[in-house]
């Protein structure tokens, strides 16, 4: 088992199919994680059957061996899924960095609209519906907040969007935990101008 882990860490391209494609990496990781869950369920089934077969030693032995094999395969699937999980983070970071780099060449107004639509498409819809400047207060991942602050700090951004103080009763910061680690969510507030929708 240790040898497998070393090989997985040392030669990922040789051992992993689709290592450079985010969609393939996600699909393979999901396959191994689901397979591991199924194998753990099969392990429980075999252990139960072994307990029910106490009167027949041969059957009991067979089910115990099958349970051990199921456990070994489940662990192997989890070991194989782990590098894919790490790879997802790497490829996602690259995709975000590429998107940000490409976005930098777009006009500021278009980048503000795209950023708002990425956070919540209802913001631009509400702006068009009310036909006046609106103030938005929403919880966002810290990475989104940082990107929004950078966008608002750009020259000329104030005609479209400006940061405002978060009302004390709506201020919050919390940490969430998911399959790919923890993430900090915090409240941010900003004013969006109707200039954003002007032709």
The pLDDT tens digits for 9-63 are: 444 554 566 677 778 888 888 899 999 999 999 989 988 888 888 888 888 889 8
Tell me, what's the pLDDT at 159? 92
CB neighbours of 88 closer than 8 A, spacing ≥ 6?
A: 22, 25, 26, 29, 180
Tens of pLDDT along 66-110? Answer: 989 999 999 998 888 888 888 888 887 788 777 776 666 678 888
Question: Rounded to whole angstroms, how far apart are CA atoms 80 and 68?
Answer: 18
Tell me, what's the pLDDT at 20? 75
pTM of the model: 0.45
Tell me, what's the pLDDT at 18? 67
Tell me, what's the pLDDT at 104? 61
């Amino acid at each position: 088992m240790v040898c497998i882990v070393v090989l997985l860490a040392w030669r990922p391209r040789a051992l992993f199919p689709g290592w450079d494609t985010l969609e393939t990496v996600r699909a393979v990781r999901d396959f191994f994680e689901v397979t591991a869950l199924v194998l753990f369920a099969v392990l429980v089934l075999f252990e139960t059957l072994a307990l029910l077969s106490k009167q027949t030693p041969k059957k009991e032995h067979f089910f115990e061996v099958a349970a051990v094999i199921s456990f070994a395969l489940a662990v192997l699937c989890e070991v194989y899924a782990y590098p894919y999980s790490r790879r997802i983070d790497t490829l996602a970071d690259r995709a975000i960095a590429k998107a940000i780099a490409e976005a930098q060449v777009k006009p500021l107004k278009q980048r503000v609209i795209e950023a708002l639509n990425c956070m919540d498409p209802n913001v631009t819809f509400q702006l068009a519906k009310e036909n006046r400047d609106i103030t938005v207060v929403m919880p966002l991942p810290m990475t989104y907040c940082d990107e929004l602050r950078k966008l608002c700090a750009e020259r000329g951004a104030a005609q479209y969007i400006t940061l405002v103080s978060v009302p004390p009763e709506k201020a919050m910061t919390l940490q969430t935990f998911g399959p790919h680690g923890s993430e900090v969510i915090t409240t941010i507030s900003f004013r969006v101008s109707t200039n954003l929708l002007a032709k």
